[in-house]
């Protein structure tokens, strides 16, 4: 099945708009699972001291070559505190799952300064994924619901400031469905989106 490059760009642009709305353009942020470094550079351009980490040496090598003015490290989400601590923000998109949440959220807590914030984008466990799976069989295992994500964050010392649906047009939308998805998004906005966009503050 062919996926739309336009859908991926559309999804990324929407994420960046939301990040620009919520982030104070000062302080330090870790971009977890930074891949090619595109978003890390976007965060840098907002005025943040942005650091990208990824488990893939190839991705980090590419990012470091493309954005030599930024810092990139080969590191897993479970070990980010060995790169830096006392940061203002941790940004995690497409990395957190119910299977790894305990380890990663503990590490976020260690890495953030007091009252620092974690910004999370995760797949949403809801009917929309079941419908989408008819066309594209990549249903995430044990996707978060809004309630399960809020519960996990609270368990690890975070207070949720916002948790909303996001991305009615998924990044991996099949090309043949893109026109319909864009039309539905124009009518309904992000209601029923395929992801949850969540901001939570470290409280303890």
Structure confidence by residue, pLDDT tens digits, 6-39: 666 767 788 898 899 999 888 999 999 999 999 9
pLDDT at residue 132 in the model: 53
pLDDT digit string, tens, across residues 92-104? 998 998 889 999 9
CATH number at residue 80: 3.40.50.150
% the chain with pLDDT above 90: 56
Q: How many domains does the chain contain in total?
A: 1
**DSSP 3-state assignment of 28?**
strand
Range of the domain at 188: 5-202
DSSP string, 52-109: EEES-HHHHHHHHHH-TTSEEEE--GGGGGGT--SEEEEEEES---TTTHHHHHHHHH
- SS3 for 147-168, per residue? HHHHHHHHHCCEEEEEEEEECC
Average confidence (pLDDT) over 108-128: 84
Query: What is the pLDDT at residue 10?
Result: 65
- DSSP H/E element including 203: none
Residue 124: both structure tokens together: 């949403």
């Amino acid at each position: 099945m062919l996926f739309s490059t336009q859908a991926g760009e559309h999804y990324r642009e929407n994420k960046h708009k939301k990040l620009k709305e919520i982030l104070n353009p000062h302080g330090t942020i870790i971009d977890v699972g930074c891949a090619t470094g595109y978003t890390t550079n976007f965060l840098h351009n907002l005025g943040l001291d942005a650091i990208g980490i990824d488990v893939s040496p190839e991705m980090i090598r590419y990012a470091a070559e493309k954005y030599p003015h930024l810092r990139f490290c080969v590191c897993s989400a479970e070990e980010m505190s060995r790169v830096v601590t006392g940061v203002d923000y941790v940004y995690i998109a497409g990395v957190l799952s119910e299977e790894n949440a305990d380890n990663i959220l503990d590490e976020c807590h260690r890495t953030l300064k007091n009252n620092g914030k974690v910004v999370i984008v995760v797949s949403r466990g809801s009917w929309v994924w079941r419908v989408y799976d008819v066309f594209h069989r990549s249903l995430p295992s044990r996707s978060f619901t809004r309630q399960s994500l809020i519960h996990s964050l609270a368990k690890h010392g975070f207070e949720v400031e916002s948790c909303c649906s996001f991305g009615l047009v998924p990044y991996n939308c099949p090309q043949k469905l893109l026109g319909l998805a864009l039309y539905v998004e124009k009518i309904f906005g992000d209601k029923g989106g395929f992801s949850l966009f969540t901001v939570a503050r470290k409280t303890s």
